[in-house]
Structure 1
Amino acid sequence: MAFDFPEQFRYADSHEYAHADGELVRVGLSAFAVDQLGDIVFVDLPDVGAVLNRGNGFGSVESVKAVEDMYAPISGEVVQRNEAVLASPEELQNDPHGEGWLLVIRPSDPTQLAELMDASTYATKVAAS
């Protein structure tokens, strides 16, 4: 199956994406990760004000198949979380790169974005798995 990975996003090995929007960064799960999970039934996200450290877990997503931890692609403070996804986890499945975003964070080190994979590198990684 072919996936569309937005060119302006950066991707972590653990399949989270980070999208810079001014001083803030929107974080979510890639379409590939969402597809692998299947029917999503529950999403757990940190509260606004939580501090995330790159590579550390920040929540989980539960599907009918499995429960998977999600990992922060960059470090920063949570300034917003997607309450719509918490109320209706299927939003994550329907539009993972759009309305299915998870968090907005204020990065503590914006240079970490450059260390993530670009869309073509991530697409190559996914195709090989």
Structure 2
Amino acid sequence: MFFIEENIMFQEGIKHLTLGLHTVGKIKVDYINNLIEVQIASYQDRKAWYEDRAEVLTPLDIEYQIEDFDVDPNLIALRQLVLNPESIFYRKEIQKCHDMSYFYIPNEVFNNESLSIQQ
């Protein structure tokens, strides 16, 4: 999974939200017309992601040129966002989670595993 983990401020009407985790929530790739429809899901933190509580969904259409079909479309979409000077994600760092079991471990699960290891 690719994600951006930096605080970004969103404005919804008169409210401002600062959210710290952003990932692709939905993606549709049109290889013929080189278009990606993507929905970026933004969460307060990893715990909110684990609990599936996205606070802001940002729909975007991204045109792209691809030379290698082995590249993950999620990465292509995020790269386009961080390269666009008009994007709120401009120059943010894209990270990759190689093992989802370490991305977020709820305290109760972590504590139970710790207890079983100590015994």
Q: TM-score, normalised by structure 1?
A: 0.25
Higher RCO structure, 1 or 2 (CA under 8 Å, sep 6+): 1
Larger radius of gyration: 2
